[in-house]
Amino acid sequence: MKKKIAVFTTGWASEILSEYLTGMMDTFEEESVDVFLFLCYPTYVDTTATKIGEMNIYNLPDLKDFDGAVIFASGLNFQDQIDKIIKRSEEAGIPIIMQGQKHDKAYYIGSDNYIATRVMCEHLEEKHNAKKIVFLAGSTDSLDSNLRLQAVQDYLADKKRPDDLLDICYTKWENAEATKYINNYCKSGRELPDAFICANDGLAMETVITLNANGYDVPKDALVCGYDFLDDSQIFDPSIASVDQCFEKMGAACGDLWTYLNLGVDCDKSVIIPCEFIPGESCNCYDFRNSDKIRRRVGREAFTKRATTTYFNRKLNYVDSTILACASYQEFKKNLHSLYVSNHDFEGDSFHILLEPNFGNSIYDANIRLRKHGYSHQMDVIYSTEDGKSYKEAQFDSKEMIPGYTGTGPNHLYVFLPLHEADDNFGYVVFRDCIERVRNHFLQTYQNRMSLVLDKFRHALSLDLVNKRLLEIMKRDPLTNVNNRRAFEDKEKYLQSLINSDSEQAFAIAMFDINNLKLVNDSMGHDAGDEYLIRSCHLICDVFKHSPVYRIGGDEFLAVLSGDDYDNREELAKELNSLLSPYSNVTPLPSDFVSIACGISEYNHSKDRSVYDVIKRADEKMYEVKAVMKGQKQSS
């Protein structure tokens, strides 16, 4: 059985995360190790419920089943989650390695941000005479961001110019905060600094864009620097002067450290990887590197990327339409499974969708709640293949995490993503060997769209069921529990549509009038009258058992006869008459007394132009029968 390492982070720092994972996986070529990445996409501005729903995926693994845990803190800046993961790792007795942040109970893998930042400051001053600086920081609790800021402060202090750090803005890693700050700075009328140093390349690019929008040019009016040396920042115009933190080397160092720890070797608690400051166009170094060559390469790749994105979006549209077209949870499971069986090119031969068992139950009962913490012991398997082998069972033990996983064969990277709406847990999906899709945010789009359509389906089906139940209540007679006049009006419209289309549909209308209801009410009370109506209705339903029966008035009922009841209408009328009590005006009436006048008329295609024509004849026949029953005239 292979060793297993759990990695916890968010996917927003996708490019550096993918480099880190590549470095880790490469070090395990001689080892037998699978990496399980628990990935989500919370932000600082999300609601508390949304953050809970996203980071619930961290609760899926039982770390006692793992051989090590890694926290990629350059992506995970939520301290409460970091503390929980470290505590669980301690309880499981496995080593915990942190990248980008130090913790006294974890091994540390980091980059030398401090020295690289001082090199950046020295370059800005010596090459470009840039002295006055504004620093756009990340979050207050980010080790990397704080080290970078400290390096700037120490450099200026050594130069006896501490006041040249004009301002510090904590963006919480949100580009929108950088935009807001730069806009306000420009509107204030203050002179621009010589340079903006931004805690990552994303903030740097946003700073350039916002300065341009305010009429300033970079690097002419101000220089801008960042960190991470992202692909996007290298092809950006101007290309961003940045610190390459060598994340792939950090990932390799993490893999080596875990290997030594697994062998029982005593290791230093801290491993530092050197960084490199790389000048670029945004600091007015146009000749330092050939950014145009990178731009041309990306331009050549644009067509392939666009085609892949188009195919990807088309697949998501198929998923959306398949799910939203389903009228029941069972149909949803069947149709979605069929879709993936026929087309899983994007997902590959190892892909899994597992839903909470109460996801389906909650559709049909509003009192059933979805989990908000952790995952149920048994999960519903919507679709699951591992190495192309389909998992046949309807449910799966979530403790095992991956249906069909054997822990043998080549090393793999498994990526787990949560499905949820706010803090309502729907389940999770698992991809395999998809570092590039982590990098280009395809997985984030996939997770977000899948969660959204599941929520739409759940609410739409729940609302549809509620509406159907309300309509059923509205169309049901509360006393006899048969259809009411409103229901018959809908039935009449349907029958009329058949007549309008010249259909030769065979149907008949049976009209019923309950005799002596007033006598029962007056002599025995309305409760007895209600019982009499129910008893009479039951008899009609028992005889015309294949036809819908409607209560259309206080003592009037109607049945639409079709099929066997239509073919046997005369025999059924005789059967009904044989079961009736003799007509009587004398009280007290027997306890099982039932007297009903019935008239039946069939639709005549050659002369009837409306349902009302059929109803009118049936009504006339019913009154003729009623008169005969009362002895007022003889039957013809």
Give residue-wise pLDDT tens across range 507-520.
Answer: 999 999 999 999 99
591, pLDDT greater than 80: yes
503, pLDDT greater than 80: no
Least reliable range by pLDDT among 54-68, 192-206, 301-315, 336-350: 301-315
**Beta-strand (E) ranges in 104-222?**
107-111, 133-137, 165-170, 195-198
3-50 pLDDT per residue, tens? 999 999 999 989 999 999 999 999 998 899 999 999 999 998 899 999
195, pLDDT greater than 60: yes
Give the per-residue pLDDT at 260: 94
Q: What would the mean pLDDT of 501-508 be, rounded to a whole number?
A: 85
636, pLDDT greater than 50: no
List all residues 6 or more positions away from 100 whose beta carbon is below 8 Å from its beta carbon: 72, 73, 74, 109, 110, 142, 143, 144
What phi, psi does 388 have (nearest 5°)? 80, 0
Judged on CB neighbours under 10 Å (0-12, 13-18, 19+), 286 is: middle
Give the per-residue pLDDT at 633: 41
Q: What would the mean pLDDT of 415-430 be, rounded to a whole number?
A: 97
Element (H, E) at 97: strand 96-99
Q: What would the mean pLDDT of 199-203 be, rounded to a whole number?
A: 95
Which whole-number Å values give the CA distances from 609 to 54, 615, 622, in the listed order? 62, 12, 21
Note if the pTM is more than 0.85.
Answer: no
Element (H, E) at 183: helix 175-187
Give the per-residue pLDDT at 635: 41
Q: How far apart are CA 207 and CA 201, in angstroms?
A: 10
Give the per-residue pLDDT at 310: 87
Please give the share of the chain, as a percent, with pLDDT higher than 90: 83
606-619 pLDDT per residue, tens? 899 999 999 999 99
Listed as own residue / partner, the contacts of 342-346 with beta carbons closer than 8 Å and 24 or more positions apart are 343/315, 343/318, 344/385, 346/311, 346/312, 346/315
pLDDT band at residue 73, thresholds of 50, 70 and 90?
very high
352-391 pLDDT per residue, tens? 999 999 999 988 887 888 999 999 999 999 999 999 999 9
Q: Would you put residue 295 in left (φ > 0), alpha (ψ -120 to 50) or beta?
A: alpha
Q: Which is it for strands 549-551 and 556-561: parallel, antiparallel or unpaired?
A: antiparallel
- Token pair of 15 as six digits: 């490019």
| Neighbour tally for 337: CB within 10 Å | 16
Give the per-residue pLDDT at 474: 86
- Token pair of 451 as six digits: 């969660």
Could you write out the DSSP letters of every residue in 562-604?
-HHHHHTHHHHHHHHHHTSPPP--PSSPPTT---EEEEEEE--
154-189 pLDDT per residue, tens? 999 999 999 999 999 999 999 999 999 999 999 999
Q: What would the mean pLDDT of 577-589 be, rounded to a whole number?
A: 88
Name the average pLDDT for the chain.
93
Give the per-residue pLDDT at 632: 56
Q: What would the mean pLDDT of 148-152 be, rounded to a whole number?
A: 97
Q: How far apart are CA 173 and CA 176, in angstroms?
A: 9
| Neighbour tally for 268: CB within 10 Å | 10
- The verdict on whether omega for the bond into residue 478 sits within 30 degrees of 0, i.e. cis, is no
Please give the share of the chain, as a percent, with pLDDT higher than 70: 99
211, pLDDT greater than 50: yes
Give the per-residue pLDDT at 295: 82
Give the per-residue pLDDT at 368: 87
Residue showing tokens 């009429």: 215
429, pLDDT greater than 60: yes
290, pLDDT greater than 60: yes
If you ran DSSP here, which 8-state letter would residue 7 be given?
E
**Beta-strand (E) ranges in 525-570?**
549-551, 556-561
Percent of the chain as helix, strand, coil, to the nearest 5: 45, 20, 35
126-148 pLDDT per residue, tens? 999 999 999 999 999 888 899 99
pLDDT band at residue 337, thresholds of 50, 70 and 90?
very high
Q: How far apart are CA 431 and CA 347, in angstroms?
A: 7
Q: What would the mean pLDDT of 511-533 be, rounded to a whole number?
A: 94
| Neighbour tally for 41: CB within 10 Å | 21
